[in-house]
Amino acid sequence: MSKQILITGGAGYIGSHTTVSLLEAGHEVVIIDNLSNSSIESINRIQLITGKSPIFIEGDIRDTDLLDRIFTKFNIEAVLHFAGLKAVGESVEDPIKYYSNNVCGSLSLFQAMAKADVFRLVFSSSATVYGEPDNMPISEDFLTGTPTNPYGKTKLVVEQIIADLVQADRRWSIASLRYFNPVGAHPSGLIGEDPQGIPNNLLPYISRVAIGELAELSVFGNDYATPDGTGIRDYIHVVDLAKGHLKSLHAIFHKTGMYIWNLGTGKGYSVLEMIAAFEKASGKSIAYRIAPRRAGDIAECWANPSKAAEELLWEAELGLDDMMIDTWRWQSSNPQGYDS
């Protein structure tokens, strides 16, 4: 009987790119997604890119009976867990929604996995669990901090649950991947980030200004202690991130315990540098104005990615130009995202 990898949230931005990587590497994939922040069209596009079809199940990971049926029907050997909500501002306004989706959803999944004797898991964590460290770059041995919003806290809580799981039962083998700032799109231009409503993140916002849908970008603060005063982040191409998942999945296959890896490039770029790089790639001029700092933002954040390089033999290969060119290809050929 063939074996499958279960991908929760596989219709979403990072999950769809990772599904492509897995299918291309010869894995069979089952996706569960409730489509609360994604479109079924992404599944069709995955098929167009790879010539292969993931099995798609529309449903919620909090539906424990559905999870039990999936684990009974398929021969799942590992789970990549992307499903969750990620809008920082919304998490402040509606924390229950975030704790329910991200924490209760993860618990429901872990319970169903244990019941089915499936103990391999790759979890989508975030650099937000580090809080506001004093030094850069950030290594995995930095203490976790206090995330400034409920979204970030859900990631930290799930990491703590995972640490308890591996203590309690030595059969678990779990990778927690702390992403820095995922950007870009598949080079085919067929899949990419498709945020609903007004984007919160920098690059989707810039892209919407470029296609004329939004008038101007607000640069949140130019008085940080950084070279040009604007915030610095470690932007990582989503295709590199997807490859990092494949390497992590293979790495945890024959060991047990909990493994934490930063997935970043190790390079930081400021908001103004990002605007300039996007303008160069797209040939569009981006209108912006300096606005007050956004509550909860930190000045700078970039990774020391050497642990993943040593232990996974994984390094980000794509640079800022690739990130911008691929973002623009996706945005300009799908101005309304998957509804285009």
CA–CA distance, 215 with 232 (Å, rounded to integer) = 23
CA–CA distance, 132 with 147 (Å, rounded to integer) = 8
Amino acid at 80: L
The owner of tokens 């498709």 is 194
Q: Which of 219, 263, 308, 323 binds ligand UDP (CB under 6 A)?
A: 219
Binding to ligand NAD by residue 130, rule CB under 6 A?
Answer: no
The owner of tokens 């640069």 is 219
CA–CA distance, 262 with 270 (Å, rounded to integer) = 20
284 touches which of ligand NAD, ligand UDP, none (CB within 5 to 8 A by kind)? none
Q: How far is the CB of 136 from ligand UDP (least distance, A)?
A: 13
Active-site pick, 13, 98, 130, 151: 151
Binding to ligand UDP by residue 86, rule CB under 6 A?
Answer: no
Binding to ligand NAD by residue 35, rule CB under 6 A?
Answer: yes
Binding to ligand UDP by residue 222, rule CB under 6 A?
Answer: no
Burial zone of 340 (CB within 10 Å; 0-12 exposed, 13-18 middle, 19+ buried):
exposed
CA distance readout (Å), 324 to 109, 254, 278, 320, 332: 35, 37, 5, 6, 12
Binding to ligand NAD by residue 139, rule CB under 6 A?
Answer: no
Q: Which of 179, 205, 259, 314 binds ligand NAD (CB under 6 A)?
A: 179
337 touches which of ligand NAD, ligand UDP, none (CB within 5 to 8 A by kind)? none
Closest CA to 179 of 217, 256, 122, 99: 122
235 catalytic residue (yes or no): no
CA–CA distance, 158 with 258 (Å, rounded to integer) = 12
Helix/strand/coil for 208: helix
Half-sphere exposure of 88 (CA within 13 A, CB side): 13
Binding to ligand UDP by residue 297, rule CB under 6 A?
Answer: yes
- CB nearer ligand NAD, residue 66 or residue 286: 66
CA–CA distance, 154 with 129 (Å, rounded to integer) = 9
Closest CA to 159 of 61, 147, 72: 147
Each residue 113-152 as x (binds ligand UDP by CB under 6 A) or -, in order, gives ----------------------------------------
Binding to ligand NAD by residue 82, rule CB under 6 A?
Answer: yes
- CB nearer ligand NAD, residue 82 or residue 224: 82
Binding to ligand NAD by residue 113, rule CB under 6 A?
Answer: no
> Which residues are part of the catalytic machinery?
151
Binding region for ligand UDP (CB under 6 A) = 181, 200-202, 205, 217-220, 231, 233, 271, 294, 297
Binding region for ligand NAD (CB under 6 A) = 8-9, 11-15, 32-38, 60-62, 82-86, 101, 105, 124, 126, 179, 182
